[in-house]
A and B are shown apart, each in its own frame.
Chain A
Amino acid sequence: MKVVLDHLTKRFPARSKKDHDVIAVNDFNFEIPDGKLIGLLGPSGCGKSTTLNLISGLEKPTSGKIYFGEEDVTDLPPEERGVGLVFQNYALYPHLTVEQNIIFPLQNLKGEQKMTREAMHSKAMEVARLVQIDQLMERKPKELSGGQQQRVAIARALVKIPRVLLLDEPLSNLDARLRLLTREELRRIQRETGVTTIFVTHDQEEAMSISDQIVVMKDGILQQIGKPQQVYDDPVNLFVAQFLGTPQINVFEGRIQAGKVWIGEEAVLDAEGKQDGDVWAAIRPEGFIPDPQGVLTCSMDRVEVMGRDISIVSTHEKMTGRNIRSIIGAEYMPKDSSGTIRFNLKKNKVHLFDRKSEERIK
C-alpha cells in the first residue's frame, strides 16, 4: 500500500496569548512507495512524531490529505485505518499475557471480519513465530526483556495485517548491542511481510542502515527525501549535511573567488563556473588524504586509533566546530602527532553551501 501525503499541515494552537501557534508539520508532500521501509529522521521536536500520529489517525491534520493507495483516509478514525503502531515504550497491556496482548486487536474486529477463538490463536502463533516469541506466549510483559517486549509490540501491530506499519522510535529503549540486533530483525520482518513501514528516529545511523528511503525533517519542514546513500552523498543543504554521518561533517568558513574555493589563504578546490562569494565549505571525515604537499594545512591535535582506521583530530582557524576530524586508513599513520599536517581533498566529499541561505551550491 503506498502512502501519499498531500499538502499535509498540522498546527497546534498557542498555549497562551503571548505564544505563537506551533506548526509541527508544514505543508508536507511526499509519496511512500508500496512495501518499502521508510525512516523519518530529524532532531527532537522536528515534527516527526506528529507526522506519524497524523498517518495513524491519532491526530487530525489542520489541512491537507492523506491517502492509503487511492483511498482518502484523512477523516477516518484510527480504528478504521488499518494501521499497526508500535510505541517507543511499547505500550503493552501490563495485565495481559503476551498471547492476550497479540490477540487484543483481533477481538475488536466486527462483522464479517470477526474471528473464531481458534483462528485468533493460530493467527497470533503465526506472527509470534515471525518475530520469534512463540516460546513466551504465557508470560506477562514485565517478565520479558526490553527486546522481547519490543517484539511483542511488533507482533501486536502486525497481527491484523495492517495496511501500514508505523514505529515510533522503535529502538531507542534498547541497549546498544540489542539495538544493532533488533534493527536487522526489523529489516527481516519488514521484508518477509512486505508491509509498507514508516519508522521515526532521531538516530541517523539507525535510519541509514535499514531504510529503503529516508525523510529528513527540521522544524516541521521536510528537508530531503531519498535513498540513504544518495541523501548522504548529495545533501540539499547544510542542515542535512550536518545531520547525517558520524563523525559529523567538518564545516569551514570559505569563499569562492576566481574559480577556486578558498579556505583561509589556501585554494583547496576548483570551482569553475561558480559565482564568487562567501560559502560554507563542508568536508566529510573520509574526504581527507594526508599528503605532505597537500592543499589544506591544519595543526595536529591528536591521533585516535580505531583499529582498521585512524582518526586525526586537528584544528584550523577557519573551522566552525571544536575541531576537525578526518578518518583515514591506518597505513597513513603519521610519525608525529603534533605540528602541522597537510591534506589533499576528495572532490565528491566536499560540499559547498551558500553562507546566508545555507543551500547547496551545485
Chain B
Amino acid sequence: MEMSKKGSRLSKGLIYFLLTVWAVVVLFPFYWMILTSLKDFRVYNTEYIPRFFTANPTLQNYSDAFTSVPLGRYLLNTVIFTAATTGLMMVVIVPAAYAFARLEFKGRNLVFALFLSLMMIPAELVIITNYVTIVNWNMRNTYLGMILPSVTSIFYIYLLKENFEAIPDELYSAAKVDGTSDLKYLLKVMVPISQPTIVTIVILKVIECWNSYVWPRLITYDPNYFLVSNGIQEIRENGFGKENIPAMMAAVVVISIPLIVLFLFFRKKIMAGVSRGGTKG
C-alpha cells in the first residue's frame, strides 16, 4: 500500500465528500420538516417553487398542531402505552431470565430451547389470532389491548440471561450463606449489577413502543386511544384539511423530538445496545 502523500490526501478528501453526501441525504428531511413547520401557511402556499429558508419563521403551526388536532392526546397515549408496556415487560422478563440463569430445575434446557425456537416466529403470523383474541376479550380501544401482546420479548430474556450468567457464582453462594432469599438476591444484587444491560433494554423497548404502528392501528379505531403513529396517519388523512402541510410538519417535529432527545442523551448506550443485536422495531 505504497501511496504518495498527495494520493492519500486525495482519497481522504473523496471519503469525506462521500460521507458528507450521505449525511446530507440523512439530515435533509429533518431540515425540511423543521423549515416547513416554521413557514407561515399562506407564505407556504404561495411558494410554487419551495424555498430553502423562510424570512418570517412562525410558531403558529405548533399551536395549531395542538389545538386543531388532539396531538396532546396522542402524545399522552403514547407515553402511557410506552411506560406501561416497558414496565410490564421488565416484570415479566427479569424473573424469567433469572430462572434460566440461576435457578436449577428439571427441564430448564428444554424450556429454554423452546423459548429460543419461538424467536423465529414472525409477528405477522400470530397477529391474526391475537387480533381475534383481543376482539373477543372486548379489549379494542383499551390500553390493555394494546399492551398485552407486546410485554414479552424472548430476545431480551436471552440478553438478560447471558448477563446474569456472567455474574460470578460466588456472589450467589455468599448471599446464600448471608441468608439472602432468591428474590432479594435478584433485586438487590443481580439487577443492580446488570443495570447497564437493563437500561439498554429499556431504551430499546421505549424506541420500539414509541414507533409502534401496526398493532395499535389494528385494535384502535377510537382516536382517543391513538398513538402518535396512528395519530400522524389520521392527521394526514383527516386533520387540518389536507393541504396544511406546515401544521402537519409541526406535528411531525413534535412527535420526533422525544426520541431524538433520548438518542442524544444515551447515544453510546443506544448504539452499543443496537449493535449487540437489536433490530428495527
A–B contact (CB under 8 angstroms): yes
**Contact present for A58 and B177 (CB under 8 Å):** yes
A232 an interface residue at 8 Å Cβ cutoff?
no
Chain B contacts for A89, CB-based, 8 A = 168, 170
**Contact present for B168 and A85 (CB under 8 Å):** no
**Interface residues on chain A, number (Cβ under 8 Å):** 25
Which A63-98 residues sit within 8 Å CB-CB of chain B? Answer: 77-81, 83-85, 87-89, 91, 93-96
0/1 string, B192-227, CB within 8 A of A gives 1: 110100000000000000000000000000000000
Chain B contacts for A83, CB-based, 8 A = 177
Give the size category of B's interface with A: 10 to 19
**Contact present for B176 and A78 (CB under 8 Å):** yes
- By secondary structure, the B interface counts as helix
B50 an interface residue at 8 Å Cβ cutoff?
no
Distance in Å from the Cβ of B247 to the closest Cβ of chain A? 49
> Which of A33-41, A103-111, A247-255, A257-265 contacts its partner?
A103-111
Chain B contacts for A80, CB-based, 8 A = 179
A56 an interface residue at 8 Å Cβ cutoff?
yes
User: Once the chains are docked, how many angstroms separate the CA of A95 from the CA of B188?
Assistant: 10
B178 an interface residue at 8 Å Cβ cutoff?
yes
Distance in Å from the Cβ of A73 to the closest Cβ of chain B? 13
Distance in Å from the Cβ of B169 to the closest Cβ of chain A? 9
**Contact present for B174 and A87 (CB under 8 Å):** yes
B189 an interface residue at 8 Å Cβ cutoff?
yes
CB contact between A87 and one of B170, B180, B189, B193 (< 8 Å): that residue: B170
- By secondary structure, the A interface counts as loop
Chain A contacts for B181, CB-based, 8 A = 108
User: Once the chains are docked, how many angstroms separate the CA of A78 from the CA of B179?
Assistant: 7
User: Once the chains are docked, how many angstroms separate the CA of A75 from the CA of B20?
Assistant: 70
User: Once the chains are docked, how many angstroms separate the CA of A342 from the CA of B164?
Assistant: 64
Chain B contacts for A77, CB-based, 8 A = 176
B8 an interface residue at 8 Å Cβ cutoff?
no
**Contact present for B168 and A58 (CB under 8 Å):** no
Residue of A nearest to B193 (CB): A95
User: Once the chains are docked, how many angstroms separate the CA of A89 from the CA of B167?
Assistant: 13
Do A85 and B179 contact each other (CB < 8 Å), given the known contacts A91-B168, A95-B192, A95-B195? no
**Contact present for A93 and B177 (CB under 8 Å):** no
Distance in Å from the Cβ of A204 to the closest Cβ of chain B? 25
Chain B contacts for A91, CB-based, 8 A = 168, 170-171, 173-174
Chain B contacts for A104, CB-based, 8 A = 175, 178, 180, 188
CB contact between A93 and one of B171, B176, B184, B195 (< 8 Å): that residue: B171
Do A79 and B193 contact each other (CB < 8 Å), given the known contacts A91-B171, A93-B171? no
Do A79 and B170 contact each other (CB < 8 Å), given the known contacts A93-B189, A95-B192, A95-B195? no
Chain A contacts for B177, CB-based, 8 A = 56-58, 78-79, 81, 83-85
Chain B contacts for A58, CB-based, 8 A = 173, 176-177
Do A85 and B180 contact each other (CB < 8 Å), given the known contacts A91-B168, A93-B189? no
Which residue among B170, B173, B178, B180 has the maximum number of chain A CB atoms within 10 Å of its CB? B178
Chain A contacts for B192, CB-based, 8 A = 95-96
User: Once the chains are docked, how many angstroms separate the CA of A91 from the CA of B193?
Assistant: 13
Residue of B nearest to A85 (CB): B177
**Contact present for A87 and B173 (CB under 8 Å):** yes
Chain A contacts for B173, CB-based, 8 A = 56, 58, 78, 85, 87, 91
Chain B contacts for A160, CB-based, 8 A = 178
* Additional 6 contacts, C-beta under 8 A, given A79-B176, A79-B180: A56-B173, A78-B177, A79-B179, A91-B171, A95-B195, A156-B174
A-B contact pairs, 14 of them (CB 8 A): A57-B177, A58-B173, A58-B177, A78-B173, A78-B179, A79-B177, A84-B177, A87-B170, A89-B168, A95-B192, A104-B178, A108-B179, A108-B180, A109-B179
By Cβ-Cβ distance, the 8 closest A-B pairs, closest first, are A79-B179, A91-B170, A105-B178, A108-B179, A91-B174, A95-B192, A87-B170, A85-B177
Write the residues of chain A forming the contact surface with B, with a CB cutoff of 8 angstroms: 56-58, 77-81, 83-85, 87-89, 91, 93-96, 104-105, 108-109, 156, 160
